[in-house]
Structure 1
Amino acid sequence: MKKLLYLIFAALLLIIIGFGALFFLIDPNQLKPTIADQVKKATGRELVISGDMSWKIFPRIGFSLGETTLQSPPGFAENFVQFSNAELDLALMPLLSHRLEIGNINLKNAHIFIQTLADGRSNMDGMITGKKEAEEKQSTSAETAEKAPWDIILQGISLTNASATIRNDKTGDLKTMSKLNFSLDHFSPGEWSKISFSLSATSNEITVSSSGQTGIFIAADLGEVKLKKLHLETSATTPEIQIESVRIDLDQFTVGQDGNLTFSIKGKKRDLDFASKGSTKIKSDRAFNQLQVTGLQVETNLKGDALPKKKLNLILKADSNYNVEQSLLTIPSLEADIEQMIIKGKASFKDGRVRQIRFNMSSESIDIDQLLGMNKAKPAAKPSQTGPEVKATISDQEPDLSALKQLDLIGTLAVDKFKARGVHVTDVLINLKIQKGIAEISSLAANLYKGSIKARVKINSNNRPATYLAKKEIVGVDARPLLMDLADIKMLEGKAKVSIDVAGRGLSQKKIRSNIKGTVDLQFADGAIHGVNIPKMLREAAAILKGEVITEKEQGELKTDFSSMGMTLTLAKGVAKTNNLKLISPLFIVKGAGETNLVKEDLNFLLKTALAKELQGQEAEELRSLRGLEIPIKITGTWQMPKFSLSLEEIAKEKAKQEIKRGLEEIFGKEKEGEPVSPERKILQNLFN
Structure 2
Amino acid sequence: MLRLLKWLLLGLLALILTLGVAIAVAALVIDPNEYRDDLAALAERELGREFEIEGEIEWSFFPWLGIEVGRITMADADGYHDEPFVEFDRLAAAMKVWPLLRGELHTRAVEIERPVVRLMRDEDGQDNWTDLAERFAAEESDAGQQPAGADAPADADATEPPPADLEALAGMVIGGVRLNEGAVYWEDRSDDRRIRLDPVNLEIDTLRLDEPVGIRADALVGDEEYLEFTSEARLRQADAGPELTASWSLSPLDPKGLLEALGEEPPETEDPGVLRSFSGSGEIDATAERIDLTGLAVELDDSRVEGEAAIEPAHPTIELALQLDHIDLDRYLLPETAEGEPSGHGNGGNTDSDDGPREGLGDLREVALDFPLEPLRPLVVEGRIGIDELHAADLTVSDFEARLTGSEGELGAESLRARLYEGELAGHAWLDARGDVPAFNVATSLEGVAFAPLLEDLLDRDWLHGRGHFHFEGSGGGAHLHGLIEDFEGSGRIAAEDGNLLGLNIPHKIREAAAQLRREEPPEAPGHDERTDFSDLTASFTLEDGIAHNEDLLLESPVLQATGEGSANILAEEIDYRVRATLPDGLNEEDAPLLHRLAGATIPLEITGFLFEPDIRLDLAEALGEERLERLGAAREEIEERVDEERERLEREAEQEQERLEQEAREQRERLEQEAEEQRDEAERRLRDEVESFF
Letter paired with 2:461: I
Helix, strand or coil at the partner of 2:456: helix
Question: Are 2:255 and 1:283 equivalent residues in the alignment?
Answer: no
Q: Which has the higher mean CA deviation after the structures are superposed, 358-367 or 303-312?
A: 303-312
Letter paired with 1:224: M
Question: Are 2:308 and 1:360 equivalent residues in the alignment?
Answer: no
CA contact (8 A) 1:430 1:445 kept: yes
Q: Does 1 or 2 have the higher relative contact order (CA < 8 Å, sep 6+)?
A: 2
CA distance in 2, matches of 1:163, 1:589: 88
Paired position in structure 2 for 1:226: 174
- Of 300, 306, 310, the match for 1:344: 306
Cα offset, 1:286, TM superposition = 6.0
CA distance in 2, matches of 1:370, 1:390: 22
- What CA deviation, in whole Å up to 9, does each residue of 1:346-388 have, x standing for no partner? 1122334x543211111232221233377x9997999998435
CA distance in 1, matches of 2:27, 2:225: 54
Helix, strand or coil at the partner of 1:542: helix
Question: Are 2:63 and 1:111 equivalent residues in the alignment?
Answer: no
CA contact (8 A) 2:369 2:481 kept: no
Question: Are 2:587 and 1:635 equivalent residues in the alignment?
Answer: no
Question: Are 2:421 and 1:469 equivalent residues in the alignment?
Answer: no
CA contact (8 A) 1:299 1:313 kept: no
Paired position in structure 1 for 2:213: 259
Question: Are 2:215 and 1:245 equivalent residues in the alignment?
Answer: no
Helix, strand or coil at the partner of 2:561: strand
1:614-629 → structure 2 map (5 Å cutoff):
614-619=586-591, 621-629=593-601
Identity %: 19
CA distance in 2, matches of 1:434, 1:235: 42
CA distance in 2, matches of 1:58, 1:465: 66
For the structure 1 residues 186 and 610, does the alpha-carbon distance in structure 2 shift closer, same or farther, using more than 3 Å as the test? closer
For the structure 1 residues 295 and 158, does the alpha-carbon distance in structure 2 shift closer, same or farther, using more than 3 Å as the test? closer
CA distance in 1, matches of 2:498, 2:544: 30
Letter paired with 1:387: G
- What CA deviation, in whole Å up to 9, does each residue of 1:408-453 have, x standing for no partner? 3322111221110110111111112343433211110111111111
CA distance in 2, matches of 1:221, 1:599: 66
Helix, strand or coil at the partner of 1:482: helix
- Of 367, 385, 389, the match for 1:413: 385
1:514-663 → structure 2 map (5 Å cutoff):
514-545=486-517, 547-551=518-522, 553-557=524-528, 558-619=530-591, 621-655=593-627
Helix, strand or coil at the partner of 1:223: coil
Letter paired with 2:331: Q
Question: Are 2:277 and 1:329 equivalent residues in the alignment?
Answer: no
TM-score w.r.t. the length of structure 2 is 0.63
Question: Are 2:421 and 1:449 equivalent residues in the alignment?
Answer: yes
Helix, strand or coil at the partner of 2:590: helix
Helix, strand or coil at the partner of 2:418: strand
Larger helix share, 1 or 2: 2
CA distance in 2, matches of 1:405, 1:152: 59
For the structure 1 residues 627 and 399, does the alpha-carbon distance in structure 2 shift closer, same or farther, using more than 3 Å as the test? same
The structure whose Rg is larger is: 2
Paired position in structure 2 for 1:401: 371
Cα offset, 1:609, TM superposition = 0.7
Paired position in structure 1 for 2:267: 306
Question: Are 2:389 and 1:389 equivalent residues in the alignment?
Answer: no
Cα offset, 1:598, TM superposition = 1.1
CA contact (8 A) 1:493 1:528 kept: yes
Question: Are 2:285 and 1:315 equivalent residues in the alignment?
Answer: no
For the structure 1 residues 200 and 537, does the alpha-carbon distance in structure 2 shift closer, same or farther, using more than 3 Å as the test? closer
- What CA deviation, in whole Å up to 9, does each residue of 1:65-90 have, x standing for no partner? x99xxxxxxxxxxxxxxx99459xxx
CA contact (8 A) 2:360 2:612 kept: no
For the structure 1 residues 188 and 596, does the alpha-carbon distance in structure 2 shift closer, same or farther, using more than 3 Å as the test? same
Paired position in structure 2 for 1:47: none
CA distance in 1, matches of 2:276, 2:243: 31
TM-score w.r.t. the length of structure 1 is 0.63
- What CA deviation, in whole Å up to 9, does each residue of 1:282-333 have, x standing for no partner? 232368933322252332312244241455134333332342432x321220
Helix, strand or coil at the partner of 2:452: helix
Q: Which has the higher mean CA deviation after the structures are superposed, 482-491 or 409-418?
A: 409-418
For the structure 1 residues 205 and 334, does the alpha-carbon distance in structure 2 shift closer, same or farther, using more than 3 Å as the test? farther
CA contact (8 A) 1:156 1:187 kept: no
CA contact (8 A) 1:580 1:591 kept: yes
- What CA deviation, in whole Å up to 9, does each residue of 1:256-297 have, x standing for no partner? 4433332235669xxxx9763232322323689333222523
Larger strand share, 1 or 2: 1
Helix, strand or coil at the partner of 1:111: helix
CA contact (8 A) 1:108 1:161 kept: no
Helix, strand or coil at the partner of 1:618: coil
CA distance in 1, matches of 2:306, 2:537: 43
Helix, strand or coil at the partner of 2:541: strand
CA contact (8 A) 1:364 1:416 kept: yes
Letter paired with 2:288: E
Cα offset, 1:111, TM superposition = 1.2
For the structure 1 residues 529 and 653, does the alpha-carbon distance in structure 2 shift closer, same or farther, using more than 3 Å as the test? same
Cα offset, 1:524, TM superposition = 1.4
CA distance in 1, matches of 2:557, 2:353: 36
Q: State the Cα RMSD in Å.
A: 4.5
Cα offset, 1:491, TM superposition = 1.1
CA distance in 2, matches of 1:445, 1:110: 66
For the structure 1 residues 452 and 623, does the alpha-carbon distance in structure 2 shift closer, same or farther, using more than 3 Å as the test? same
CA distance in 2, matches of 1:305, 1:315: 15
Q: Which has the higher mean CA deviation after the structures are superposed, 402-411 or 494-503?
A: 402-411
